[in-house]
């Protein structure tokens, strides 16, 4: 890979971390069942900044302190076991479990969910969720006239 160094020069480098890759995949598998979508998306959106600060040597900067505190908070519920299969350079998650899993089998289906979901509820949700889009479309239509 060719990268842009902090001081502005280009440099070629090869980085291999098979153990780190395996741990990362296992950790992400547990995060996927213990964190909600919003937390995962927020954390993922901030990781490039975390990586850049680390690469540039700003581990003890105020920005990094804030990011570390945020990451620590996201990791509070993350614990469990991930089962992986390693074969010919590939790492595949074959199972995961956690006492803090947000996956609840009884409500994971919309058919036999023991009353957790009623299709009639979707109508109101869809209307509210689409409200900003309808307002935007109305404004666009009015500006054409």
Lookup: tokens for 66: 């804030």
pTM, two decimals, is 0.78
Read off the DSSP letter of residue 14: -
Residue 95: C-alpha distances to residues 42, 66, 84, 104 (Å): 25, 33, 7, 15
pLDDT in tens, 3-50: 888 788 898 888 889 999 999 999 999 999 999 999 999 999 999 999
What is d(CA 27, CA 30) in angstroms, rounded to the nearest whole number?
5
Domain locations in the chain as residue ranges: 2-108, 109-145
Report, at the CATH architecture level, how domain 2-108 is classified: Alpha-Beta Complex (3.90)
Decide if 91 contacts 21 (C-beta within 8 A). yes
What is d(CA 53, CA 41) in angstroms, rounded to the nearest whole number?
19
Q: Residue range 85-102: average pLDDT?
A: 97
């Amino acid at each position: 890979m060719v990268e842009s160094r902090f001081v502005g020069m280009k440099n070629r480098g090869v980085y291999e971390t098979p153990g780190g890759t395996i741990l990362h995949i296992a950790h992400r598998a547990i995060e996927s069942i213990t964190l909600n979508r919003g937390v995962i998306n927020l954390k993922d959106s901030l990781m490039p900044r975390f990586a850049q600060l680390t690469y540039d040597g700003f581990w003890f900067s105020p920005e990094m302190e804030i990011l570390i505190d945020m990451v620590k908070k996201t990791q509070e519920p993350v614990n469990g076991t991930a089962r992986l299969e390693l074969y010919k350079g590939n790492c595949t998650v074959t199972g995961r479990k956690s006492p803090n899993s947000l996956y609840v089998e009884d409500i994971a289906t919309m058919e036999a969910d023991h009353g957790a979901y009623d299709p009639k509820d979707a109508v109101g949700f869809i209307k509210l969720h689409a409200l900003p889009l309808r307002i935007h479309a109305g404004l666009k239509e009015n500006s054409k006239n």
